Amino acid sequence: MREPQIAPPKLNVTFAVLGIAFLAIFSWVFFHEEGAEWRSAQSRFRQIEVRVKNPHQLAQAAEVGGLRQIWLPELNRVDRCTTCHLGIDDPAFVNAPAPFTTHPGTWLTTHPPERFGCTTCHDGQGEATDVEHAAHRPTELFDRPMRPLETIEANCGTCHRSLDPPEAPRLAEGRRLIVASGCVSCHDIPGFEGMTFSGPALDSIGNKIRPAWLGGWLHDPKSYLPNSKMADFRLTPNEIASLQAFLLSLRAQLPLDSTGVRWNRANTDAGRALFGELRCVTCHAIEGRGGTMGPELTRIGDKVKRDWLFSFLKDPHRAQPATAMLQYRLTDDQLRDLTAFLLEEYRTGDAGPEPPPAPADPLAIAAGRETFIRRGCASCHHLAGIPDSGHLGPSLAGVADRDPEQLTYGAPGVRRTIENYLFLKLEKPDALVQPSLMPTFHFTPIQAADIALALTGLRKTELPASYVITHDPPPAYTPAGPFGELATRYRCMSCHSVNGSGGTLSTVPFDRIGSQLQRDYIATYLMNPGAVRVSVEARMPVFHMLKDEAQTIATYFDSVFRDAAIDTYDTQFSPADERRGGELYAQFGCAGCHQLNTKGGYVGPDLTDTGRRLKPGWIAAWLASPEKYKPGTLQPDYGLSAADVRALTAYLSGLGRATRTTPVTKPGGPVSR
Amino acid sequence: MKNTHGFGGFVGFVRFGGFGGFVGFVVLAAGCHRAVAPPPSDPMLDAIRAEERTAGLSYAEGQGRQLFGQYCSTCHGDEGKGDGQNASNLNPAPPDFTTSKTMKDAAYVRRVIAEGSAAVGRSPLSPPWGKSLRAQEIEYLVAYCHALASKKS
Amino acid sequence: MMESRPTIRQRIRTEFGRVTKSVMRIGWPQTDKDRAAVMISSIFLHIHPARVSKHALKPSYTLGLGLISAILFGILTLTGLALMLYYVPYPAEAYRSMKDLQFVVTFGVILRNMHRWSAHAMVAVVFFHMCRVFWTGSYKTPREFNWVIGVVLFLLTLLLSFTGYLLPWDQLAFWAITVGTNIAAYAPVVGDQIKFLLLGGHVIGPTTLLRFYVMHCVLLPLAVVMLVSLHIWRVRKDGLSGAIRVDTPVAEKGGAFPASTKTYGLMALTRRPSASVDARDPNDEVFAWPHLLYRELLVTVAVIVALHTVSLLFMAPLESIADPTRTPNPAKAPWYFLGLQELVSHSAFIGGVLVPGLIVLALVALPYLDRGTQGSGRWFAPERRVANTIYTAVVIVAVILTIIGTFFRGPNWGWVWPW
């Protein structure tokens, strides 16, 4: 007989071992599933909930259990963060440990999670349900790990496309720098379309510049002006020499009206007085102090030729049609004194007599012209005969979506992210890719970081229109007629704005100025502008305007820039209103900020002459909602009732009425001529 | 190269997991070698952190400081010492926040900012900002006030 | 007293016994006859012969590779069916379903990992199975055609894995398929047409995903199931190679089926009038139940345990969502095509056309060129030294090329050291 046909005992042992292994691995699978991080997080949450809530709240609290998610089909997002971050919208968990703590601030009110989710602002992998895959820290696992708070503003920029996004100062500063540094001249940047950056036209630069200065300027602009808008193009000595030859050969005919000027009779003291009176520092800085609209004048004497400066001051618009500089109404003697003062006072040493123009080397000029075109000088500087170089640099549309793995970082050990690439590129444009045409801007690290942060928001992602908050640039305002001529001459729109178009230096837009100010006051003020608010340093220049001109402007303002909503205010006040207004003035502590009969603070305007200065309708409108007319104003919105507004208006518009005929004098204002 | 993978290291082994043990071993060695490399640097983040370190303030406090400079410092002074340029015109004069205990009471400070000092029974010279500023901006200011009061000088 | 009626318990037992018998037909086998009957009466067990050669039971002979391939295919089918419940074959949704599987679906991670790793394992195991068959000379007469079926099955396995590679719709998938289909486009004359047919267009898009999905889930599995049935049927009829043969039929022995009296007409599928049972030595044979089935059960459990372990320890890769504008450097094909990609990097014609074409041709023609039965049924038989040397050399070159392509190639297909 054959042996019984059963399995040998050795196989039974194997079977037993494998069977146990099978059971073990199967229970491991269950354990693996049941032991998910989020489950233990939820049970810890329940323990904390019992501690932070009273029984009544607990009874009201929704049962926590299972995966939670915010689904945003419009944004193509699923955020499961709230599976663990359970107390995020519940103030009771303000002191609870992470991940259960309440979201700080009022962000969830302004950005409700059911509309924005979590990763829209924070990045990270919203679909993940464990700490590691959610990419709370930079990780190999996910392309867009959560942003640290320091750079989170980059994501504000995804929706907030205006230049000055609210509550995102880093982003705002980055965007400001993008415009102010001229990035828009060479790069196509979404959101910055139509924005331009330009340096002075160079058609007659040979007449303007002292040759000795030009070489140093081209080699390193910051050596002349620490905050120069011109970047360092890292030009070679050869390029500098040829550019110099080329630029100095540019001598387009200028009306150099200085032929009859008797320079030997120049009075620099009179020039100094004029310099102060005209309020040049509103736009031009000296030793770093003053405005930034025009170039700093600290070393103007090293740079420009005397005849050119005289001619420019006499009529800036003929030499530089695009300049923001106004044309003062000065006599030739005044211009001579001012020119002499500027050149004498603001220079480093004796520049010596202006050398005669050197004979031009045609080869060097041609080479300079070639360099001028190649390095894209024409992107910022107008020069007849040379077309605008356009966007020489690459478009930055969707730059944040470029593959960080395929970029160079110059140094090993740098985390390969688009932010770091942009940052390093901005700091040292030639360190990453050589040769680079991009000039060096000598940004400070924080400036480079802010710009990089602003650029990181430029993603290709198509957002639903309902999420995008744009700020279209306003249509340009160009006044016509007699007022238009005056506005052009005095460059009103360099500082003032109409309907959002124009300058931002002045806090008084023209939009409703005819309804705000008394007509007579405007005319008087234009003749001799003083300070309405002492605490403000930038002041209206003293134009030396003619009386007719002032009347023309005042009439135009009074008839054109009106706001019906303000004009229709009932100005028949009762004495009771006026009396009560006086009480309210004291009750609200207005004197803390406003001067009245030499008593009170310096923060707001002097109110002594309010009745002569402001129209009552405007006083009422302003008091009712100051933020509406001037966002960011220091005038608080007291939430006044209409009756209180009326009382205060009655009181304020009565101020200064009795002194109607006396000339306006203000503490701290410039002495009149 | 990116991997969704629980253990840092066995990069190749994961992707080509079924390939064979001897190959895996080679990569295992490579993976272990990689694991000890120092974490990469973040120059852009470092720049922002360096900036914030100079101020010694958190993000919210830094935002608060900017708002403080815009709205408050004229009277309260740049550092909250009550020495702003307009302080001398005020009676009572603004308090020195750096030594104030009430500045650490967030609810109190929030109320004074939003409703004015008159709302807590003091002089009306500090106006209400609740209708001008957004709630978040007031939160930033509260945070900065707390920082001012906590500063060791 | 009347005879007592059966108690409820007895009745239940009887009824249960009836049902069991209707399904199982034969109870626990006690005799050799029962054991043979178990094998023959069950459709699932009928793919095994009633008796198998002892030689075939030696683990060192077959290494169980064919069985493991079949088990892996079974696991792939089951996990694949489960995955299909969550999968949407449309680009962004496909990727999202991967994320859902990873983060939300209960056991989703394990399911996907198991499917991924068993797919990779199946490619390797099928390849090793082919090597085993070659090295033991088992493709020789009468098994020539079964070898050809095996070669086709190997190609189908590669295609199954390749089509599945695209489905997660991540960067890895997208670019591996891009490279893979580009290799296919090197085929002479019809290369571009093949690529167009595969992709449903000139670039990978939604149609490609749908095509790959249908191929992966319907066409290719159906083809594999049919060919595997044929493959196993032929094994069952031809027996495993290496069994001891006798020249004369052996008489029936106690309790066993006669080994020599039956013939099996197989229509046109075999050239011989009857199957080979009549030519085997009964003394060399044992019953498939329990000797073979028990061992198969053990291997199955072992494979399942191993797969679960690997799937718990190692996550299936999932990169960021496919982005046609972001080409990874280097873009690599699935690992089993990296040898080819390495060749293509040197010469598109050699790597994309010549080598793969010749290899497939040689494999198909092999059993018809290498005639006779010398050296069949033994590992590395000395009579087959030349054939084994050539084959081994080709395998080693292929493995080395694949290793180079996998680990030693970096950006721009340049040489890198993996450490």
Distance CA A648, CA C361 (A): 101
SS3 content of chain C, % helix, strand, coil (to 5): 65, 5, 30
Distance CA C182, CA C198 (A): 11
- Does residue A239 sit in the same domain as residue A297? yes
In CATH, what number is assigned to the domain containing residue A486?
A: 1.10.760.10
Give Cα separations from A308 to A205, A257, A355, A426 (angstroms).
10, 9, 14, 36
Distance CA A89, CA A61 (A): 12
Strand, helix or coil for residue A563: coil
Q: What residues in chain A have their Cβ under 8 A from chain C's Cβ atoms?
A: 1, 5-7, 11, 14-15, 18-19, 21-22, 25-26, 28-29, 32-33, 67, 76, 78, 80, 127-130, 133, 142-143, 403, 405-406
Q: Are B44 and B127 in contact (CB under 8 A)?
A: no
Residue A358 belongs to a domain: no
CA atoms within 13 A on the CB side of A338: 23
Which residues are CB-neighbours of A620 under 8 A, at least 6 positions away?
A: A566, A569, A645, A646, A649
Residue A611 belongs to a domain: yes
The alpha carbon of residue C284 is apart from the nearest alpha carbon of chain A, in Å, by 12
Which helix (H) or strand (E) element contains residue C285? strand C285-287
Q: Are C209 and C25 in contact (CB under 8 A)?
A: no
**Predicted complex ipTM:** 0.81
Distance CA C259, CA C279 (A): 8
Which residue of A143, A420, A622 is the best one to mutate when testing the B interface, meaning the one whose CB has the most B CBs within 10 A? A420
- Chains touching C by CB (3 or more pairs below 8 Å): A, B
Q: Using CB atoms and an 8 Å cut-off, which of residues 118-177 of chain A contact chain B?
A: 133, 138, 140-141, 143, 148-151, 166-167, 169-170
Residue A381 belongs to a domain: no
Q: Which of A143, A151, A636 sits opposite B128 (nearest CB)?
A: A636
Distance CA A528, CA A543 (A): 8
Distance CA A527, CA A542 (A): 8
Closest to A121 measured CA to CA, from A148, A143, A94, A139: A148
Domain boundary among A345, A373, A401: A345
Tokens of C237: 């009829």
By the CB < 8 Å criterion, does A588 face chain B?
A: yes
Q: Residue A265 has what pLDDT?
A: 86
Closest to A374 measured CA to CA, from A382, A364, A362, A386: A386
Looking at beta carbons, which residues of chain C come within 8 Å of A143? 320
The alpha carbon of residue C72 is apart from the nearest alpha carbon of chain B, in Å, by 12
- Chains touching B by CB (3 or more pairs below 8 Å): A, C
Measured over the CA atoms of residue B66, residue B67, residue B71 and residue B73, the dihedral's sign is negative
Distance CA B12, CA A214 (A): 59
Distance CA C35, CA C26 (A): 9
Supply the range of the domain harboring residue A548: 481-560
Q: Are A639 and B131 in contact (CB under 8 A)?
A: yes
Closest to B66 measured CA to CA, from A111, A170, A164: A170
By the CB < 8 Å criterion, does C295 face chain A?
A: yes
Residue A218 belongs to a domain: yes
Question: Bridge-partner residues for C409, per DSSP?
Answer: C415
Tally the domains of chain A: 5
For residue C329, what is the nearest residue in chain B, using CA coordinates?
B1
- Does residue A444 sit in the same domain as residue A462? yes
Q: Are C78 and C149 in contact (CB under 8 A)?
A: no
CA atoms within 13 A on the CB side of A254: 29
pLDDT in tens, chain C (419 residues): 456 788 899 999 988 988 888 877 777 778 878 888 887 777 777 788 777 888 878 888 889 899 999 999 999 999 999 999 999 999 989 999 999 999 999 999 999 999 999 999 999 999 999 999 999 988 888 888 999 999 999 999 999 999 999 999 999 899 989 988 888 888 878 888 989 998 998 889 999 999 999 999 999 999 999 999 999 888 887 777 776 665 544 444 444 444 443 444 444 444 444 444 445 666 777 888 788 888 999 999 999 999 999 999 998 888 888 888 888 888 888 899 899 889 888 888 888 888 889 999 999 999 998 887 788 888 888 888 888 999 999 999 999 999 999 999 988 888 888 87
Q: Residue B115 has what pLDDT?
A: 92
- Does residue A594 sit in the same domain as residue A552? no
In CATH, what number is assigned to the domain containing residue A260?
A: 1.10.760
Distance CA A462, CA A124 (A): 19
- Does residue A454 sit in the same domain as residue A486? no
Q: Is B148 exposed, middle or buried (0-12, 13-18, 19+ CB in 10 A)?
A: buried
Question: What is the interface size between B and C, counted as CB pairs within 8 Å?
Answer: 63
Which helix (H) or strand (E) element contains residue A502? strand A501-502
* Helix axis angle, B43-55 to A445-456, nearest 10°: 120
Distance CA C410, CA C419 (A): 12
By the CB < 8 Å criterion, does C305 face chain A?
A: yes
For residue A105, what is the nearest residue in chain B, using CA coordinates?
B136
Q: Which of C104, C291, C301 sits opposite A7 (nearest CB)?
A: C291
Residue A210 belongs to a domain: yes
- Does residue A341 sit in the same domain as residue A243? yes
The alpha carbon of residue A507 is apart from the nearest alpha carbon of chain B, in Å, by 14
Q: Under an 8 A CB cutoff, do A5 and C286 touch?
A: yes
By the CB < 8 Å criterion, does B125 face chain A?
A: yes
By the CB < 8 Å criterion, does C120 face chain B?
A: yes
Question: Bridge-partner residues for A232, per DSSP?
Answer: A440
Phi, psi for C272 (deg, rounded to 5): -90, 150
Distance CA C402, CA C338 (A): 5
At A204, which amino acid appears?
A: S
Looking at beta carbons, which residues of chain A come within 8 Å of C301? 15, 18-19, 21-22
Looking at beta carbons, which residues of chain B come within 8 Å of C123? 18
- Does residue A185 sit in the same domain as residue A209? no
Domain boundary among A534, A560, A586: A560
Which segments in chain A show pLDDT lower than 70? 1-9, 253-257, 350-358, 531, 534-535, 658-673
Closest to A422 measured CA to CA, from B1, A136, A443: A443
Which segments in chain B show pLDDT lower than 70? 1-37, 152-153
CA atoms within 13 A on the CB side of B121: 1
- Does residue A433 sit in the same domain as residue A512? no
- Does residue A554 sit in the same domain as residue A573? no
The end-to-end CA distance of chain C, in Å, is 91
Residue A19 belongs to a domain: no
Distance CA A378, CA A207 (A): 19
Pick left, alpha or beta for residue A36 (phi over 0 → left; psi -120 to 50 → alpha; otherwise beta): beta
The alpha carbon of residue A17 is apart from the nearest alpha carbon of chain C, in Å, by 10
Q: Under an 8 A CB cutoff, do B23 and C403 touch?
A: yes
Residue A363 belongs to a domain: no
Q: Are A121 and A156 in contact (CB under 8 A)?
A: yes
- Does residue A99 sit in the same domain as residue A129? yes
- Does residue A186 sit in the same domain as residue A211? no
- Does residue A316 sit in the same domain as residue A443? no
Measured over the CA atoms of residue C66, residue C67, residue C71 and residue C72, the dihedral's sign is negative
Looking at beta carbons, which residues of chain C come within 8 Å of B32? none
Residue A442 belongs to a domain: yes
- Does residue A437 sit in the same domain as residue A458? yes
Distance CA A316, CA A545 (A): 16
Closest to B50 measured CA to CA, from A447, A138, A400, A104: A447
Strand, helix or coil for residue C253: coil
Q: Under an 8 A CB cutoff, do C406 and B16 touch?
A: yes
Q: Under an 8 A CB cutoff, do C314 and B6 touch?
A: yes
Question: What is the interface size between A and C, counted as CB pairs within 8 Å?
Answer: 72
Closest to A495 measured CA to CA, from A626, A275, A324, A629: A324
DSSP state letter for B70? I
Q: Which residue has the tokens 């038989």?
A: C381
pTM to 2 decimal places = 0.79
Closest to C64 measured CA to CA, from C279, C256, C275, C303: C303
Q: Using CB atoms and an 8 Å cut-off, which of residues 4-63 of chain A contact chain B?
A: none
- Domains along the sequence of chain B with CATH: 8-37 (no CATH), 43-150 (1.10.760.10)
Domain boundary among A439, A467, A495: A467
Rounded (5°) CA angle A75-A78-A80? 145
